[in-house]
Chains A and B, each alone.
Chain A
Amino acid sequence: MKGHSLFHWVFTILASLVLLFIIAPLAGMFLDSSLTEVRTTAADPDVIRSVWYTLAVAFAATLLFAVGAVPLSWIMARREFPLKKVVQGIIDLPVVLPHTAAGIALLGFISREGLLGGAAKKAGILLVNNGAGIALAMAFVSLPFLINAARDGFAAVPERTEKAALTLGASPSRIFFTVSLPQAWRSVVSGFIMMFARGMSEFGAVVIIAYHPMTAPVLIYDRFNTYGLTSARPASIIFILVALFFFILFRVLATEKREIFRREDDATD
């Protein structure tokens, strides 16, 4: 095409190769599986149960940890304190750790002999081989996605609007909920969705904490180990489709919610 330099073509080809690398295995998996196989697997109660279970636990973990993660991200965006860089490093640590290693570390912490596991045991709760333990494993590896996205969102809120609210008589907590959070909302929701998506797809840390009850990634691994590729493939397709559906749904709902806020705003006027 006239007007495009060699630079343009080289970059386009390199970019296309990377995209192809992501799309090709997924497309191959869909093409290699028959509709009948997918239908049969979709009727398998174990598969259905594990998919729903994974979604529910990932959502609960994200929701629960957001209660602490959002304030932490606000602190990281707004406060200066000694060793702040070290704290940021700690937040990013789960991203760089091998997830099985993260699982081992977490297992020590939540097993009956561990600090948290011991305390939970006294309260009559077992964290290993249990939904609570799985939620902790999912949260451990996916928290940085929420914290970092929300931190960037809070950092982008003009600090002057918070100061203005203070001079207008608002308390710090009121400022957080009426000025900071509404302006950072988009980033917080985006981080929430990323944490949820990363949590539900977690295998390494989860398999160390709990082989049973089986989450979808563990079930796919189990099918592959026991019956081979052809059996694992339809289960993978179902999980990918369901995960994609919820991923897109949450994104749409988040956008809708903003629209509703806008309409409510106008309605009160």
Chain B
Amino acid sequence: MMLRTDKLSKRLGSFSLREISLEVARGDYYVLLGRSGAGKTQLLELICGLTSPGSGRVFLEGEDITWKKPQERGIGLVFQDLALFPHYSVKDNIMYPLRMRDLTLKERVDRVQHAAAEMNITDLLLRKPDTLSGGEKQRVALARTLVTEPRILLLDEPMASVDASLKDNIRRMLRRLNRNGLTIVHVTHDFGEAISLATRVGVMHNGRIIQEGTPAEVFNQPVNRFVARYAGIKNFFRVTFITSYNRASGITEKRTRFRLPKGIYPSAGLLIIGSSEVLLSRQGAAGIQINNIHGVIDDIVPSPTGYEITVNAGDYFYADITHREMEENNFVTGEKVIVSFRPESLRLVGEGEDKKEY
């Protein structure tokens, strides 16, 4: 195991990190996903030793580094605001960590040149940070950290200061670093970033890691509404489960009834369904005999792939429809429609967190 934290806790004013235990294997690309204020940056600073924990321990390659000085940990951290030294040139920024090492001038210069070539910033070496774009600064900050040959690289929102058009470049670069064997812990609030880079994902909320696993595990089997929302799911229904005539159903407080596939269900829980799996029609969708729910179109909003339609059926449903479907059906606000979906589209989300916090 490359990095392991054992019940790491820290109180920071009214906020606290609570018993964070995470494991990052050698070569993993671990994405820590959470909203701002979830405690992601504080966790990185604890791992780096920039702040000390109230309790718990940090292990790096099996060694307990909880109380080791940050400058002796061999952990590379790239801050969200990059923290380049404004009074140094790009070259001197990258050279900075090498000045503390027992290297000849030639070795230092060679390492700077190599890192600059790797990050494609050779032509920026004489510039000052305040003359660089967000993407260039990002690459300089990465080069400055990578020359230290860190045992593990921690990235705090690395795409935050990068133009959308350059994000792909940075993503490719990070993937390449990881492929070359560098273990990376990457903090972000962006679900897309997590999906595109992670080999493992941890979802953080209110100072705790609430779910951990591969991206497929986390996004296909979210443990609660918060994680599901990250996966782009909007249709959540708190239901009570009942069985009648050997058939399971979930019933919401507003009396919406969901017919479920055969299975074992708790007495109550949260059902989710992807917006793309919700079908809209005027007569009921072809081939769907059950789960046809009457409602009224409440709102129609353009989306990147077509439209998102909100239907008020007592409970609210969100349906994604394509431009072609819209042209064929010409739905309008206020119109009566039937919301349909297959029982297999319904997923039961784990409980626990939800009961308390949502």
Contacts and interface: CB of A to CB of B under 8 A. Distances in A.
B37 to A, nearest CB: 18
Contact of B145 (A166, A168, A171, A268): A168
A167 B77 contact: yes
A164 B73 CA distance: 13
Contacts of B76: 167
A188 interface: no
Contact of B50 (A166, A170, A179): A166
A167 B88 contact: no
Contacts of A161: 83-86
Interface string A163-206: 11111111100100011001100000000000000000000000
A158 B80 CA distance: 13
Contacts of B59: none
Interface string B104-146: 0000000000000000000001100000000000000000110
Nearest to B92: A265
Contacts of B89: 265-266, 269
Interface in A71-87: none
Interface in A220-269: 261, 265-266, 268-269
B83 A158 contact: yes
Interface residues of B, number: 30
Contacts of A165: 85, 96
B74 to A, nearest CB: 9
A268 B92 contact: yes
A183 B96 contact: no
A160 interface: yes
A183 B87 contact: yes
A11 B92 CA distance: 48
A269 B122 CA distance: 12
Nearest to A175: B71
Interface string B63-98: 000000011110111010101111111011000110
B87 A169 contact: no
Contacts of A164: 77, 79, 83-85
Contacts of A171: 71, 100
B126 A166 contact: no
Contacts of B145: 167-168
Given A160-B81, A171-B71, A269 B91 contact: yes
B109 to A, nearest CB: 11
A166 B71 contact: yes
B48 interface: yes
Interface in B19-59: 45, 48, 50
A130 B81 CA distance: 53
B355 interface: no
B268 to A, nearest CB: 46
Contacts of A179: 85
A163 to B, nearest CB: 5
Contact of B100 (A169, A261, A266, A268): A169
Given A167-B76, A171-B71, A265-B89, A178 B81 contact: no
**In the complex, the 5 A-B pairs of residues with the closest C-beta atoms, listed nearest first:** A164-B83, A168-B97, A160-B83, A269-B126, A167-B77
Interface of A: 158, 160-161, 163-171, 174, 178-179, 182-183, 261, 265-266, 268-269
26 contacts: A160-B79, A161-B83, A161-B86, A163-B45, A167-B50, A167-B70, A167-B71, A167-B76, A167-B145, A168-B97, A168-B144, A169-B72, A169-B97, A169-B100, A170-B100, A171-B71, A171-B100, A174-B100, A178-B96, A182-B87, A183-B87, A265-B88, A265-B89, A265-B92, A269-B92, A269-B125
Interface of B: 45, 48, 50, 70-73, 75-77, 79, 81, 83-89, 91-92, 96-97, 100-101, 125-126, 144-145, 148
